[in-house]
Amino acid sequence: MDILSHGLWAGAGAAAANKRLKKPLRVGLATFFGVLPDLFAFSILPIWTFVNVLQKDVTFSQLPRDLPPLLAFEPLPLDTFWVYPFTSLLYALSHSLIVFFLIASIVYIVKRRIVWEMSGWLLHIVIDVGTHSYQFYPTPVFWPISFWHFNGIPWHTPWFMAVNYAALVFVYFAFIHTWRRRKLREGEVKPVLSVLRRDIRVKLAVRKIVGKTMRKRVEEV
């Protein structure tokens, strides 16, 4: 799936979970973990391309039109630039459940608690299993123990992208609607509370005046 959708789904998942949790998740951090696997895997490739093209070490005509598949699944030609197999290795590292649970366990030992925001990373892997085909980075979900991968629906298929973003729009509109209703309820409660506080202040002032009046009468007597 595209990186924007990963972030939006991770954020939506955290926001939905917060409705049931006593200690809310940090939505921003969950969103970050939702995009982390792709940032980790693919950030170096555009940087390498930009630097080498700028220095004229490589021309665009020398670059492959399609990214090579994972090295573990289909060996790359010997003349392939090193950055492509390296990117494939980074993709395998960041999209493996084995690696995820290993890192999550280390974080648990260090922090002495489960960092639930890391579930954004887990959601990313699960989504990619079904939205990557053999033609473009099939997700090595059990790497390095197994090279098994699933031939899913390519995420860039037009109808799938339309359905995906329609679902995201629906979910976020639902969140906005819920948020507005809550704000309206809070707006209705605040005036009532302000009226009650004002009545209490008035009653206290009246009692104070009555008390002073009674003391004066007693002194006059």
Which 8-state DSSP code applies to residue 76?
P
pLDDT, residue 35, reads 96
Convert the pLDDT of each residue in 62-101 to its tens digit.
666 555 444 434 434 445 677 888 888 899 999 999 999 9
Q: Looking at residues 57-66, what average pLDDT do you find? A: 63
State pTM to two decimals. 0.73
CA distances from 2 to 5, 116, 156 (A): 6, 23, 8
pLDDT, residue 76, reads 46
In one-letter notation, the amino acid at residue 66 is D
Q: Looking at residues 8-15, what average pLDDT do you find? A: 93
| DSSP state letters, 183-206 | HHHHHHHHHHHHHHHHHHHHHHHH
Q: Looking at residues 118-132, what average pLDDT do you find? A: 94
Q: What is the largest CA-CA distance in the chain?
A: 113
Q: Are 139 and 88 in contact (CB under 8 A)?
A: no
CA distance 41 to 25: 26
CA distance 217 to 34: 75
Convert the pLDDT of each residue in 174-200 to its tens digit.
988 887 787 777 665 556 456 556 667
| Structure confidence at residue 27 as a pLDDT band (50, 70, 90) | very high
CA distances from 24 to 9, 20, 116, 120, 123 (A): 17, 8, 10, 15, 18
Convert the pLDDT of each residue in 144-156 to its tens digit.
998 888 888 988 8
CA distance 31 to 17: 13
pLDDT, residue 110, reads 95
Which 8-state DSSP code applies to residue 155?
T
Name the token pair of 207: 């009692």
Kindly report which listed range (15-24, 98-107, 113-122, 201-210) carries the lowest average pLDDT score.
Answer: 201-210
Percent residues over pLDDT 90 in the chain: 41
CA distance 118 to 93: 16
104 pLDDT above the threshold of 50: yes
Q: Looking at residues 25-38, what average pLDDT do you find? A: 94
Could you tell me where the DSSP H helices lie in 55-96?
83-94
pLDDT, residue 20, reads 84
Which 8-state DSSP code applies to residue 56?
T
